[in-house]
């Protein structure tokens, strides 16, 4: 268990419509839990001051699923506008925190070690953001300092924080993951990546 993070919040984005998956992917089984519960458990390792999950079409099911967890589930009524709308909604709720760690609800391979590395690098570098380095650029999970909140609140569309992370004027520290952090977008990806013992 990680030590409590002072003035830090965790934001988990889980508002996608799962169109390519064909059913609510956040609710499919992953080991002994659902995919989303697995990600939430990883996020809760940090004992952050506050943990918020932004849900969309399946918000009632997600609220029921997580009703006994120390998290808040909020529904994005404009979830069809794209991931940026969910990120903006979550950031508005958490804008008083010094650091916000952003996770995607469909990335079960993200570890607590990697999330801790993001926060440590953000703090030690003095950068405005710390993001995961992929072969095609920077992405989630990522950690943001409160100084970048005005730019995050301007986001629109279905690209999310990647728009901000590409700004040449922004100081971003990159963190290489120790293994593949593939997200689960399709049923085929789920079948290929799910644990073999479930």
What is the share, in percent, of the chain residues with pLDDT greater than 90? Answer: 57
In a domain, 56, yes or no: yes
Using DSSP bridges, classify how beta strands 72-75 and 29-30 pair: parallel, antiparallel or unpaired.
unpaired
**Widest distance between CA atoms in the chain:** 46
- Residue 1 pLDDT grade (very low, low, confident, very high; cuts 50, 70, 90): very low
In a domain, 1, yes or no: no
In a domain, 182, yes or no: yes
In a domain, 53, yes or no: yes
How confident is the model over 84-105, as a mean pLDDT?
A: 95
In a domain, 187, yes or no: yes
In a domain, 2, yes or no: no
In a domain, 198, yes or no: no
Task: Please state the pTM of the whole predicted model.
Answer: 0.88
What is the share, in percent, of the chain residues with pLDDT greater than 70? Answer: 87
**46-to-39, 76, 129 alpha-carbon distances in Å:** 12, 25, 18
pLDDT tens digits for range 139-175:
999 999 999 999 999 988 877 788 788 888 788 999 9
CATH of the domain at 73: 3.90.550.10
Q: What is the pLDDT of residue 21?
A: 52
pLDDT tens digits for range 105-144:
988 889 999 999 999 999 999 999 999 999 888 999 999 9
Structural domain count of the chain:
1
What's the chain's average pLDDT? Answer: 86
Range of the domain at 28: 8-193
In a domain, 126, yes or no: yes
For residues 149 and 29, give the distance between their C-alpha atoms in angstroms, rounded to a whole number: 34
């Amino acid at each position: 268990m990680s030590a409590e993070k002072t003035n830090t919040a965790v934001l988990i984005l889980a508002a996608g419509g799962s169109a390519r998956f064909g059913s609510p992917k956040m609710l499919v089984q992953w080991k002994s839990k659902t995919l989303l519960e697995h990600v939430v458990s990883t996020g809760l390792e940090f004992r952050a001051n506050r943990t918020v999950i932004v849900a969309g079409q399946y918000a009632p099911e997600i609220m029921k699923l997580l009703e006994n967890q120390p998290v808040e589930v909020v529904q994005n009524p404009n979830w069809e506008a794209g991931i940026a709308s969910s990120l903006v909604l979550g950031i508005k709720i958490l804008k008083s925190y010094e650091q916000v760690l952003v996770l995607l609800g469909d990335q079960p391979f993200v570890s607590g070690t990697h999330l801790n590395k993001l926060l440590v690098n953000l703090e030690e570098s003095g950068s405005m953001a710390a993001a995961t380095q992929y072969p095609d650029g920077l992405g989630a999970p990522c950690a943001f300092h409160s100084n970048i909140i005005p730019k995050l609140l301007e986001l629109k569309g279905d690209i999310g924080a990647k728009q901000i992370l590409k700004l040449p004027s922004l100081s971003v520290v990159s963190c290489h993951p120790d293994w593949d952090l593939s997200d689960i977008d399709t049923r085929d990806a789920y079948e290929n990546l799910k644990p073999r013992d479930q």
